[in-house]
Chains A and B, each alone.
Chain A
Amino acid sequence: AQSVTQLDSQVPVFEEAPVELRCNYSSSVSVYLFWYVQYPNQGLQLLLKYLSGSTLVESINGFEAEFNKSQTSFHLRKPSVHISDTAEYFCAVTLSGGYQKVTFGTGTKLQVIP
């Protein structure tokens, strides 16, 4: 079965500084990878996903993540964060092909400090 690890439970960062949220997965077969974001008092929203093709995927609000098969990672990055990026970010994985449930990580709380 697949699993996903988010080692950082909280990441404080100053406004306009860069940030990286780490995600590692374990699977011996092909996977699909997702990042979801949960803003305070809101439901989870899809931020970006990797299915196939280019290993670098981008979101509309400046986040990007790179699929690294050799390191089994899918780290989320943003070159300059804004106060409005304060939220909890969840990495998720599912096996490609057929029916497979999505497995979520434990989440990373990003706190942007003004």
Chain B
Amino acid sequence: EAGVAQSPRYKIIEKRQSVAFWCNPISGHATLYWYQQILGQGPKLLIQFQNNGVVDDSQLPKDRFSAERLKGVDSTLKIQPAKLEDSAVYLCASSTVGEVFETQYFGPGTRLLVL
């Protein structure tokens, strides 16, 4: 079974530029999560999708971050414009139906450096 795929693995941009990350969850998983992991901190949930609907985006900085999951499968997270403090690893995870006790399966992450 293929795992969660993310691309690119690494990205370096200058502040005020835009960037997009892509995630393809495990086949059949209805729930998709995007996390931000800043160096020295644990992952912080940015947004959770159930199929193509948003369940929780309370910690997503909506003035600069956006995410979509149009067909209920893969997803894109965008930052526009980027700030220095956005430097982090962006993790995508998926689970079958999104129950709190379920195992979340994580991708390898995209490491973003904003200069």
Chain A residues near B55 (CB-CB < 8 A): 99
The DSSP consensus for interface residues of chain B is loop
- Number of B residues, CB within 8 Å of A: 23
Residues from 81 to 114 in A contacting B, C-beta threshold 8 Å = 90, 92, 94-107
Structural contact, A99 and B103, CB atoms closer than 8 A: no
- Report which residue of A41, A90, A101, A103 has the largest number of chain B beta carbons within 10 angstroms of its beta carbon: A101
- Report which residue of A41, A100, A104 has the largest number of chain B beta carbons within 10 angstroms of its beta carbon: A104
Q: Is the CB of A45 closer than 8 A to any CB of chain B?
A: yes
Q: Which among B38-46, B64-72, B77-85 touches the partner chain? A: B38-46
Chain A residues near B104 (CB-CB < 8 A): 44, 46, 102
Known contacts A90-B42, A99-B56, A106-B40; decide if A43 and B108 are in contact (CB<8 Å): yes
Tell me, in angstroms, the Cα distance from A41 to B107 when the chains sit together: 11
The DSSP consensus for interface residues of chain A is loop
Q: Is the CB of A42 closer than 8 A to any CB of chain B?
A: yes
Structural contact, B100 and A94, CB atoms closer than 8 A: yes
> Chain B residues in contact with chain A, CB under 8 A?
3-4, 40-45, 48, 55-56, 91, 93, 98, 100-101, 103-109
> Chain A residues in contact with chain B, CB under 8 A?
4, 9, 32, 36, 41-46, 49, 51, 90, 92, 94-107
